[in-house]
Structure 1
């Protein structure tokens, strides 16, 4: 019960004075309530925090009266009509909290308070309030900066990939014509252009992925993955690199391990590919790269051994630092120094581990460990939908190489339209149509009924998804195969493209051979 008037005028004992002085000195707001939720004590920090006059604070107001005071000061982010509901919720909140943790109050003036309620041994209830506005603002600023950084890098990726598509594409086109039209020296120049473009593309991809992982924006979708499937994903990429560098690669047979990994298949392949490409890149011609894999301690380890120069002992602590090539900058081998730093972040995002050992002059071993997800269950294989078979004597791009079809390319970037025009000009009897906007493309599709349509995704007037939607909605264009050719390489964008109904989704800078194979597939499916 609340003390009587005569008791409130009694001078506090010396010990109580000392306690109150100590509580007044604390920078957190403190409110002591009795069993009837009337204030027994209110310290100075609370009074300043809520602009509470001393006369009111010393009159032992009820908690409801304190709420009304806050309402009169305009502290609460509440509409006028929600007064009663808000007060009832706050009263119930204080009664319910009793030692259950902190609750954040966001005030109308921009402040953020954390408060909690505990019951003291004497039955009184103590509410403590801490102003965490600087911390909340710092967190919000960091989140905003991360979003801005991710948006900026995403936009830069698109802006850089679009001109790179023309650079690499024209270089590939010239390489296709090198035997007939270029001297050996000119062919060498073209190769330098194409290799430089490829290197810049890898750098863009690595930097963007690194930034997205750093900002927590790179999606990771763990699933059960067979080790054999993971190695099968990267083998077609690694072997041509190894053959070109005259490196022998020993591949393990993971089929002997009836186990499943818990990992994002694409991210795990990216991490392992980084290790293998480094091993190939820094190993001398004629040497050997060896893969080993096996389970242990609840994890599955894949190790990459090389016979390269190794890493100096005094620099091994720098191995996973971004943009640090450990003194290899002048060695004539292309690289950005970000691959291992990115790989470590990718592996950590899948709850895995990464490590290495290295002896200068004797080579290195880098390994990753990924969590085990269980054992392989026997299941009926899923039958793949077969592609239309090529005719006898016709290679896999026979329809494209034979020509005789019409193609509409919807793309707002002029150099990319010119590139596609020249690619189609290498094929016989191809009717090439181009449109610089989504609206122009739809009009051209309705007027000319092309055999296949290629569209960009990011265009000023409408995006590629809207173009596809309009094409599918019109009876005269609904059956035309549509291929998306875009600089948006994010996995979620690729999944969205496939789910939207694009027959194929190819990213820029375009691999012309892959583009021709894709067109061949679409044209054979239409049986023109």
Structure 2
């Protein structure tokens, strides 16, 4: 009896470890008795499908996206015809709130002595986030290729013309081609810098060279390229005596990105207001434009990597990295970053930094 009790306890311990591992991995499990047509599922399995409790096989199938039903049928057909015991497929399911989730089902078929499938054991994963990241990666590669192609093509054309004219340079054309080449190189460098900054922003060992300075100095001296164009007015208001202890170069990068976005997304907004405040022991800096505004459903995603918002029909260009990098910089300074926007009235991007 002692041996039996010991063996049973060991089995229970193994089962408990497996259960804990499954729960930690956020995996749903299922057991289908094909003979009696009975399906047993875990709580997480039901949740991934969008049910509060157990459902019938027909109900599980009913929430699979109509465009993906053929994928499920094909997977079941392949698993039974090939007798390889494996059942694997990825489909979309529609939850009661009409949200779309991606699921990945993996199972193993068991057969009786006559070769008839009698049971399926398997697991279920919600892979929505994985699919979202894959889409963002593909979008990023597409956007980066497009963004780099234009300046590289322009640079190549300028260099080809310069090469043809090197023996007999035309005085009027030569400087223009050199200027064009320089501008193209600057665009390429800016794009490459953004890519490098993503890696730096994610690096937990990123060093901040903090000094104490007036935040007003950065706002006053930033964005010389916009001030020189004399098209937009950068208006500074608020408490210009506010000092912070931060990495001046990094904060300057954040401010430039926010002002550039104001110009990009609100090209008809001549005034760009910059405000400095003391708020709850922090310095708060706000950059406001008077453009078309950003839809409420897009605002929570603006600081995600590679996210690009098509604001009020204005098709933007870029890698979708600027706000993500800026938010990471502010986070490293133990500050916060956010946005307030109303359609037709404009947008205000803000960030906070600890006071010096």
**TM-score (structure 1 length as normaliser):** 0.34
Question: Would you tell me which structure has more strand in proportion to its own residues?
Answer: 2
Structure-2-length-normalised TM-score: 0.49
